[in-house]
Amino acid sequence: MNRLILAFAVAILCSASMVAQDEPQPVVLTETVQGRFGTVWESLKTAIEEFGCPKPQVIKVIEPAEEGGLYKGQYVSDYCVLAEGEDTTKATIQKYSDVPRIRGGIWVTCRVQYKINVREEEGGITKIILRAEMSGFEEFITAANHFWVSNGILERQMMETILAKVKKKQAESGN
């Protein structure tokens, strides 16, 4: 009897770990750029605005405690609407992620939220860590917002835009 219980417990643990491995993992992009915090921070805000995102949910700059210290910042965008309406939403979801499985579901919105951390480091470099989360409203079955991971396209586009803005600002200032 004990062996049967032990075998059953092992089977449950193995199947639980297999399910966790099947879950898509969020894409996290990290870039280190030669440049000061202020340049990167302003480039980030310009890039987010260019993507048509509304005012941020969180915008926090942590100033250093001592003179000449290093800055940190956290930027969480509001939900940036990618598509609205039954006609275009499902195609947009398919382009940027796997469509969440809701049998008979009708998606009426698709959104993305960017979460970006910026940290100044020694030697005049700044590190950017970017994540994104997809969400949408399913109208017919659940009548609720659902959240899921993207396939990385939006994150890469945003990071490329931020880096291009940093280069442009540096060229304008002569750094």
Reading the chain (175 residues) residue by residue, the pLDDT tens digits are 555 454 454 555 555 444 455 778 999 999 999 999 999 999 999 999 999 898 899 999 998 878 778 999 999 999 999 999 999 999 999 999 998 899 999 999 999 999 999 999 999 999 999 999 999 999 999 999 999 999 999 999 999 999 999 999 999 887 6
Structural domain includes residue 18: no
Within a domain: 1? no
Residue 21 lies in a domain: no
User: Residue 119: which CATH number?
Assistant: 3.30.530
Identify whether 10 is part of a domain: no
Total domains, the chain: 1
Q: How many CB atoms lie within 10 A of CB 160?
A: 13
Model-wide pTM > 0.85? no
Q: Does residue 16 sit within a domain?
A: no
Instruction: Note down the domain range covering 50.
Output: 26-173
Task: Report yes or no on 19 lying in a domain.
Answer: no
Burial 61-99 (b: 16+ CB within 10 A, else e): eeeeeeeeeebbbbbbbebbebbeeeeebbebbeebbee
